[in-house]
Amino acid sequence: MLAGGILKGLAVTARNFFESFVSKERLTTVQYPDERLPQIEATRDFPFLVYDGPDAMAGLRCVSCQICEKECPPKCIFIEKSTDRKPDAAGKLQFYPAKFNIDISVCMSCQICVEVCPFDAIKMDVEFELATDDRFGGLLLDKQKLAKSNEYYHRIHPTEANTVDGKLAAARAKVAAAAQPKPQVAAPAVAGSEVKA
Amino acid sequence: MNSVQYADQIFVLLKQWLVSLFPAPLQTAVGILITVVTIICVFPALFAVTTILERKGLGRIQNRYGPNRVGPFGIFQPIADGVKALTKEDLVPANADKIVHFLAPVMLVIIVFLAYAVLPMGRNMAAVNMDCGLLFFFAIGSATEVAVFMAGWSSRNKYALLGAMRAIAQMISYEIPLMLSAVAAIMIAGTLNLQQIVEQQAGYSGILPHWYVFTPWGLAAFLLFIISATAESNRSPFDLPEGESEIIAGYYIEYSGFKFALFFLGEYLGMFSISAIAITLFLGGWSAPFSFLAWIPSYLCFFGKLVAMICCFIWVRGTLPRLRQDQLMNFAWKFMLPMSLFVIASAVCWRYAESWQRWALSLVVVAVPYLWLGHGMMNNRKLEQRVYRYAE
Amino acid sequence: MTLSFLIPAIILLIGAAAANVLRNLVHCVLALTLTFAGFALLYLGLGAEFLGLVQLLVYVGAIAILIVFTVLLTGGGVQGERHVLSPRWFQGFVLSVLVFLLLGYGITKSSFTTHAATSVDSYPVSLIGDRLMTNYSLPLEILGVLLTAATIGGVVLAIREPRQQTKESE
């Protein structure tokens, strides 16, 4: 029929109209501030610093190696190394960052800092509602604001956090095993090494 | 009179009572004033309701909510829109022709309101019962083109002028099928008086009404009329002159604030008045759809049909893409004009034949040209080498 | 000199005077449109409903637009004038007064003023249709032929261009 296309189109829109009142797939709007879509696990927004244990500043995994600061493409990380050392989560004395600032108005969420950190200290957060009206300091996050607990990390990225925890536990176990006092086979070992050499 | 008639004539009686409160020399003036004030209050209120209905309706068609923040389900959105329009800065371009720029929206709104004077909104409820009421309506409608031109030209903006020229060309082209399809209804009714046209359709045979839309020529004429009405009020899918993604509001680009609101009001009021004429000519005006529903007051029937037509306009707006200028001109001159001439011929067959032959004959006289012209329009899309014409 | 004559007459005269003396041509056309509307009001005041409404429909709705298109297509709406009146407004004014006197003389000397006006309150429009089909059917047919000729002329003018274009491109 000649005007058939138009009539089929009208039928489609009418169907859309009536079904939008009953079925969710016809009305896919999520009314943002009141309802939110669940985020997938691989979501990333801006970095944060992981700390183990109850105390944020004492448990920070970051040892201020400054690799992330050097690798960051837009140079949005500012680190000031401390002058003294304090024990980290495994008990070893390490430097710690006296100041750790990330300017999130510059950060482009490329995740390079996360990829290069040897200590799994910096990870990507999923929070995006960071708008502020303080234009001179509101978007510069310091160490206090960046430090979030390992439990929080487990909540937002469970599989990643489990992998990291497993790796850290294995490393700690190896360190603990190597720190065991050696058994009394020192003489044959030395003799054996003398023979080899 | 019994309660059904009382409910039907309640506004007429109310007006008569109000007029009788004044001394005799002032009575005609007061009567006119009451009618005018009522029209000025009712139709802009209907406009406000239509804006929210349209935005929510279009939203639902497009898989989203419409506005739903202001008031429950967004019903106070027109108030917010009104406040915005009133408080926005009124920018007039420095080069613009100030007097004409000011007068264009004023003239448009005046002309559009004038057209409401002859609409029969209920039994005995037309503001002015003119003998050539329909001709008055068409005359007023053709004066809107001057206002459109004034708006487009006074902005001293080439795109506004281009939009105005397109709008005028579209309005002129679609006026002819509009009037010719109305002529078919006038011929059968035998009068230009809108009240009498409605009264002729107010009879029933069994339970079915005598509306002209239920006859073959009437259905064709009604479809032609509403397509032309959509084009006359620059409404989607014929809204190229004011398309937001094409020429960003066309002839009223340079208007902001209250003047823009006046253009918007003028466009919607024009849509209402032309739908009201379509209802009067083809859908039986204020008469009820079935004889057992004749107890419904006439003004409720009229406004119910008007709201139904507005919903159809919104539905079509949400469905069809915009027509290009040459496509819509082709459609007007090559399809609708010959079709409307055949509709007149079909109405003649209806008038002069009897019983089943008149149904068959008028149906054939309408259907054959429809198929023939329709195929002609669709087969014209020959792929040919594009010839470029440069402006010399 | 009733009010129903005076008001349309004043509107008409203002429109006509403005159309003569304004500098910007598009303003003149808009003033002319006002004159046409004044005419329509005069006809309506005289009880000629059909004629008044057709005057609005044809003159204001179609002919004013036609004149506007003509002015724009021939480059008349040039911008940049700062004066409101054209430089030769006095000559235009004198000329129109002379034409008015001539027409007035012609009208007063004719037989229009000696016959009493037969007042008709208002006639039904069907009477016009009746007369057109019976007494005045020859003028109606001539009008039809004229309109058909105009339409065909328009189509011929529009068709000629592409044919020339394709001939040049071959």
Which tens digit of pLDDT belongs to each residue from B231-279? 998 887 888 777 665 656 677 778 888 898 998 899 999 999 999 999 9
Give yes or no for residue B381 having a pLDDT over 50.
yes
Give yes or no for residue A6 having a pLDDT over 60.
yes
Helix, strand, coil percentages (3-state) for chain A, rounded to 5, are 35, 15, 50
pLDDT at A135: 81
pLDDT at B301: 92
- Who has greater pLDDT, B300 or C93? B300
HSE value, Cβ hemisphere, 13 Å, CA-based, for A65? 16
- Who has greater pLDDT, A181 or A33? A33
Cα–Cα distance list, A147 to A43, B57, B341, C116 (Å): 19, 48, 80, 105
Q: Are A153 and A120 within 8 A, CB to CB?
A: no
B327-345 burial, b at 16+ Cβ within 10 Å, e below that, comes to: ebbbbbeebbbebbbbbbb
Number of C-beta neighbours around residue B87 at 10 A: 9
B168 inside 8 A of chain C by CB: yes
pLDDT at B245: 58
Residue in B100, B138, B150 closest to C57 by CB: B138
| Best of B108, B146, B153 to mutate (most C CBs within 10 Å, chain C) | B146
Judge: A27–B64 Cβ closer than 8 Å, yes or no.
yes
Residue pLDDT, tens place only, A33-64 = 888 888 898 999 999 999 988 888 888 889 99
Q: Give dist(CA B65, CA A17) in Å, integer.
A: 11
pLDDT at B111: 92
Residue pLDDT, tens place only, B18-69 = 999 888 888 888 999 999 999 999 999 999 999 999 999 999 998 888 898 8
Question: B320: which chain A residues are within 8 Å (Cβ-Cβ)?
Answer: 6, 9
Per run of 10 residues, the mean pLDDT along chain C (length 170 residues) is: 88 90 85 94 87 92 89 70 68 86 89 66 79 91 94 82 50
Give the phi and the psi of residue A70 in degrees, each rounded to 5.
Answer: -75, -30
Please state whether beta strands A140-141 and A147-149 pair in parallel, antiparallel, or not at all (unpaired).
Answer: unpaired
Question: C53: which chain B residues are within 8 Å (Cβ-Cβ)?
Answer: 132, 135-136, 139
Q: Are A82 and A107 within 8 A, CB to CB?
A: no
Place of tokens 């004043």: C10
Q: Which of A181-195, B84-98, B328-342 has the lowest mean pLDDT?
A: A181-195
Domain positions in chain B are 87-375
Q: Which residues contact B192 (CB under 8 A, 6 or more apart)?
A: B131, B132, B133, B134, B135, B186, C125
Q: Give dist(CA B388, CA C150) in Å, integer.
A: 29
Mean per-residue pLDDT of chain B? 88
Residue pLDDT, tens place only, A126-161 = 988 888 898 888 899 988 888 999 999 999 999 999
Question: C169: which chain B residues are within 8 Å (Cβ-Cβ)?
Answer: 387
Average pLDDT over residues B89-98: 85
Alpha-helical regions (H) of chain A: 4-19, 67-71, 112-116, 143-146, 150-156, 158-178, 186-196
Question: A2: which chain B residues are within 8 Å (Cβ-Cβ)?
Answer: 370-371, 374-375, 378
pLDDT at C157: 83
Place of tokens 């016959």: C115
HSE value, Cβ hemisphere, 13 Å, CA-based, for C69? 14
CATH number at residue A139: 3.30.70.3270
pLDDT at B355: 82
Given pLDDT bands bounded at 50, 70 and 90, which one contains residue A196?
Answer: very low
Query: How many domains is chain A partitioned into structurally?
Result: 1
Number of C-beta neighbours around residue B30 at 10 A: 16
* Percent of residues, chain B, with pLDDT higher than 90: 40
Q: Return the CATH fold of C1-100.
A: Four Helix Bundle (Hemerythrin (Met), subunit A) (1.20.120)
pLDDT at B353: 86
pLDDT at A77: 94
| Best of B106, B118, B131, B384 to mutate (most C CBs within 10 Å, chain C) | B131
Q: Give dist(CA C67, CA B87) in Å, integer.
A: 38
Q: Are B197 and B285 within 8 A, CB to CB?
A: yes
pLDDT at B242: 73
Place of tokens 């709201």: B307
Please state whether beta strands A97-103 and A77-81 pair in parallel, antiparallel, or not at all (unpaired).
Answer: antiparallel
DSSP B203-266: -EETTEE--GGGSHHHHHHHHHHHHHHHHHTT-TTS-GGG-TTTTTTGGGTT--THHHHHHHHH
Do A and C make contact via 3 or more CB pairs under 8 A? The reply is no
CA B211 to the chain's CA centroid: 19
Residue-range definition of the domain harbouring residue A104:
47-175
Q: Give dist(CA B202, CA B135) in Å, integer.
A: 22
List the subunits that have 3+ CB pairs under 8 angstroms with A.
Answer: B
Residue in B132, B156, B387 closest to C165 by CB: B387
A171 inside 8 A of chain B by CB: no
- Complex prediction ipTM: 0.82
pLDDT at C114: 66
Q: Give dist(CA B384, CA B109) in Å, integer.
A: 45
C16 inside 8 A of chain B by CB: no
Mean per-residue pLDDT of chain A? 85
Question: B141: which chain C residues are within 8 Å (Cβ-Cβ)?
Answer: 61
Q: Give dist(CA B320, CA B330) in Å, integer.
A: 17
Q: Give dist(CA A77, CA A103) in Å, integer.
A: 7
Residue pLDDT, tens place only, B190-200 = 888 999 999 99
